[in-house]
Chains A and B, each alone.
Chain A
């Protein structure tokens, strides 16, 4: 099947007077608009939306969809993103009218099923994290970070320690960590990694003090390594009066195996769109609930769901920070995570993590002869290679990423974490068959050969995609952010 190089924009398909959807005829007496709203408020022309038929809309988006990679299309080993299979039954059960067609302000008595789901999901996440109380309000991981930091700040303020405004973050952290700190007015203090890829404990000891608000950590960290010193790290931070924040981006490695609460963390966010399999949707919606210790529970955003006898009701925690968004968060997203937990059970979740870790180690073992492995030790659910060997042939990690597209694979995460030069971060997940892992390994080896034999094949890749390498500098120099009528 051939594919056109470009798909016209929906606006370029438009013809004046053509219509897609039609409403029923107006069944109340029509009053001139100007009698209801003063003319001064009204626009002269309706917005210039496309004028297309329903078939054109369907065809347009079907054509666009065919120019897109997804988990359904092929392997997606994007490190730190946990691109696992998204069970289709979750789409069905969350589109039931009893969940999809309920209004957030209906009387509580008429949405008991929704509240029960929220309450139980909060409990499940508390069990999985080893902590106490949950808010489902944050809409994404970064939103969860922001919420968690606001809770930490409110906790310190309540204890008259508002001067604690330094948040310690490893140099290998996700960019959202420092960005979230800035949003609550925290100063970022960077702690270096040690030679095994973990937090440099001696450096940490020197950094904590009376102004320490806490430490944000991903564990396993962004190198895919479990920080063995976590208990000592937790003690150092707690002894200095700080709190520990767990970035749950990598929770797919530890379900049923270890719990952040037991490691000493006080706040955890989960990326339900990673670990708990809610679809990424091309960039969202996600859900980033946070779970906190008993001490922090009174500061959570409200409302939260409480169970009284066999009834569920919304309550606002005693010292609630307020709200981080309207209503109750991305309900239909976290309902999918609820379905995921229910269909796996405790044993299933543990198997998920065990398999994810086994897959990652298997791939790492088989690739480390052809790509540099800067931290050669057992990894968790993902691992980080370096393209420095290929760089000697004039081939950069970006070229390897682009070349993978020619073989039908999505690239791993590249150039992150920044502590590894030419980083290639691979996360296979547990839902891929071994045959796919093997195919990917073979292709990576072949690309390593190509890098030696024919570097230009890589530096000009991709060759088999609908468009060739795109000029990102041009897009940024002279931004064209919308279509304009010619």
Chain B
């Protein structure tokens, strides 16, 4: 890898980490198109590097949320069975799938993410504390000096939804948070903050299963993954500091437009019009 290209990838990954942190997304949604469209890597190589980056961003923030008690570790582990299995299956499918088909699927994923960012999904009530089947997944955390207590409902439905998030992650190299967060919030009645923190904990486990598959098939390029991981980590650190100062709504609208534009490029790549 040429040092100038390496520097370009570090800067792109840092921008992905920064934007991802500001918008509450993993960097994968930006890294994969950037590596394929700007730097000419294959979809599988880009996805492999992206999964490593997803683990880097999730690990840093997940430990913070677990210590703060916002992540529901029990719920995260139970859903983690479904997401990691989904991640494993998704990665296996992606390894044997033509990269043009992956580009097409990624294009649809970008459109869904843009839609997810501009809609308001926080209108469902919180599930009251109490057991959910064989498990008591009730949890609480502090928000602005108030204790938020909640329970969890629809565990089976939630696991099915999380498995879809896992497949998406393993197949396309994204964190899967755009699927996991609405599943926990809308179907399972988990408060938004706890759903985001728990999703952050889960995406590390999900990406782990997918990354191991890509690693075994020799699809994680050491140099590429190293510079992407370093860039994303630095960008997400900066993003977490800036996030308190910036207003998210306008940024989300602009970024949604960017995502739709990039999805068009991905569709062109899928059609073989772009290299």
A and B: interacting chains: no
